[in-house]
Chain A
Amino acid sequence: MGATLLEIRELSKSFQTDSKTVQALRQIELDVKAGEFVTVIGPSGCGKSTLLRIVAGLDTGYQGSVTLDGQSIAGPGIDKGFIFQEPRLFPWLTVEKNIAADLSLRSPEVKRRVGELIELVRLNGFEKAYPKELSGGMAQRVSIARALLRNPKILLLDEPFGALDAFTRAHMQEVLLDIWKRNGTTMIFVTHDIDEAVFLGSRIVILKPRPGEIRAKINVDLPYPRKKASAAFQNFRYEVLSEFEKIDELSWGESGAGI
């Protein structure tokens, strides 16, 4: 783990709708070191996606500063990989062309890297398949490979496994950890599944809603691979859970947002 890669200072963001202003984020302070795996967890509507989209450069018009490698974020780009909740593949491109996207498979270098990534996300044999022939989990793996091909400095994942069944989800978590270990890509992973947050993260950031603020940051000093049934794992789980109960007490009757 190295120097600070991402620096978020006094970040606030509000949305103007016709009638009212919604404060999505308030005074967010967060440093992410290179090679870290940060999981962000919080109830629905607390601003997790907004935070990620700002880091990706997709949302602008915020207060405060967000810098990646010391540079403030000007817009989206391939140095910031983004994985959406849905796979968002191009339906007219085959798996390998979706991964390559605007890069040409005629280049041997691209071809080789795409092959490696297909291996990594275990999609061998489906290079020529169209998205309509893939299951949700397979499609999401394609979108992960697509982001990884660009060697991003940071990979932003917005509830990427939210729509998957428990089995596929567990498998995908393994795949992601595998990628993280091999490539050392810095990860910010949004979820609202406590198990997932503890299983993956070297650090957990807990957000609370209305307005979105950081409630707690928890370092998870557990070696990988983690055993979900172990006592140490459960302890971290309880710690996160108790933070959530505090949030519930704070916003009781007003939000009712469960997890």
Chain B
Amino acid sequence: MSIRQANAAAVPTAGRKRRKAEKTRRKLSHFLWGAILPATILIVWQVLGDRELISPLLFPTPLVIADSFVWLWNSGTLNDNLFVSLYRTFAGFGLGAGLGLALGLFVGLSRSAEKLLDSTVQMIRMIPHISVTFLFVLWFGIGDTSKILLIAKGCFFPLYIYSFLGVRGVDNKLFEVTRVLGYSRFKQLVRLVLPATLPNVILGLRLSLAIAWVSLVVAEMMGASSGLGFLMMDARAMSDTPTVFVGIFLFTLLAKITDSLVLFAERRLLAWRDSFER
């Protein structure tokens, strides 16, 4: 460790550049390996479709789907609906995750709040998510509100549970340290409880995001007049399977991108953890 540091200090830029290049190469090779299987599947799919071995209606080939994507994009339909869906997701996620975090921390910090609130929250958590979608649409209409609230409801619980567990899991030994160092209650919260809870919060965020996308699809398919889910529902009614596939593809991509963003943030914010390589 100290030797490596000494080396790095002696040839700072050259060493760092070389290490960076090596890292990039490793990442690229990792990516290529991971891409082999999906690429093969796409090619086989395309070939089977071209030879009409699989139904073009049930399984439009990748090229047909791509065509449909380009058409939807150029016509502006996709843009509009995509934007609406993104807005709903992030508004719902922000609302639900924010409330879940705040309430989880609060209940974690206060035993009386736990006694008062936790059993109720746990009961609400057991209500099957999908089963209330229809009610939400009835109550709040087919516009944004019902979607945002449904997503918020889904995102609330992971953050509530994980931030609660995080607060309760703070090492008592570190609490003693803060007492010996004369921290006020506020400093204990900001400088011990919050950073110690961060790994749990990030875990909760990842779970919440996954739930957010699923909730969005369900909500938009059950009753909406715009959004990606609506686009898919509409296409299904007209047996336009390529568009349905475009929708599936986009949802997958969006969920993956947001998950990667959280992972990236995690790597940055939790570099101090033992289990993470820097």
Chain A nearest CB, measured from B177 CB (Å)? 5
- Asked whether A76 and B180 contact (CB < 8 A) given A86-B173, A90-B192, A102-B191, the answer is yes
Binds A, one of B21-29, B42-50, B98-106, B270-278: B270-278
Chain B neighbourhood of A133, CB < 8 A: 1
Partner of B180, one of A56, A130, A131, A132: A56
CA distance A130 to B5 in the complex (A): 14
Interface status of A92 (Cβ within 8 A of chain B): yes
Interface status of A68 (Cβ within 8 A of chain B): no
User: Which positions in A face B, CB cutoff 8 Å?
Assistant: 56, 58, 75-78, 80-82, 84, 86, 88, 90-93, 101-102, 125, 130-133, 146-147, 150
The 6 closest A-B CB pairs, nearest first, are A82-B180, A76-B179, A78-B182, A92-B272, A130-B272, A92-B195
Interface status of B261 (Cβ within 8 A of chain A): no
Chain A nearest CB, measured from B194 CB (Å)? 10
**Count of A-B residue pairs with CB < 8 Å:** 58
Q: Are A150 and B192 in contact (CB under 8 A)?
A: no
A-B contacts, 7 listed (Cβ < 8 Å): A84-B177, A90-B192, A91-B274, A93-B272, A125-B2, A130-B271, A130-B272
Q: Chain A: which residue is nearest B196 at the CB level?
A: A92
CA distance A92 to B193 in the complex (A): 12
Chain B nearest CB, measured from A184 CB (Å)? 21
Q: Are B183 and A102 in contact (CB under 8 A)?
A: yes
- Asked whether A91 and B272 contact (CB < 8 A) given A125-B2, A125-B5, the answer is yes
Chain A nearest CB, measured from B265 CB (Å)? 14
- Asked whether A58 and B179 contact (CB < 8 A) given A88-B173, A88-B174, the answer is yes
Q: Chain B: which residue is nearest A56 at the CB level?
A: B180
Chain A neighbourhood of B181, CB < 8 A: 78, 101-102, 146, 150
Chain B neighbourhood of A80, CB < 8 A: 180
Q: Are A132 and B182 in contact (CB under 8 A)?
A: no
Secondary structure at chain B's binding surface: helix, strand, loop or mixed? helix
Chain A nearest CB, measured from B121 CB (Å)? 28
Interface status of B187 (Cβ within 8 A of chain A): yes
Chain A neighbourhood of B272, CB < 8 A: 91-93, 130-132
Q: Are A58 and B176 in contact (CB under 8 A)?
A: yes
CA distance A131 to B273 in the complex (A): 9
Q: Chain A: which residue is nearest B184 at the CB level?
A: A102
CA distance A58 to B272 in the complex (A): 29
Chain B neighbourhood of A88, CB < 8 A: 173-174, 176-177
Known A101-B191, A133-B1; further 12 A-B contacts with Cβ < 8 A:
A77-B182, A78-B181, A80-B180, A84-B176, A88-B176, A90-B191, A92-B196, A102-B181, A102-B182, A102-B191, A125-B2, A146-B181
Q: Chain B: which residue is nearest A101 at the CB level?
A: B181
Q: Chain A: which residue is nearest B274 at the CB level?
A: A132
CA distance A150 to B1 in the complex (A): 30
CA distance A147 to B180 in the complex (A): 9
Q: Chain A: which residue is nearest B198 at the CB level?
A: A92
CA distance A91 to B269 in the complex (A): 12
CA distance A161 to B177 in the complex (A): 18
Chain A neighbourhood of B180, CB < 8 A: 56, 58, 76-78, 80-82, 147
CA distance A88 to B272 in the complex (A): 15
**Most chain B beta-carbon neighbours within 10 Å: one of A75, A78, A81, A92:** A92
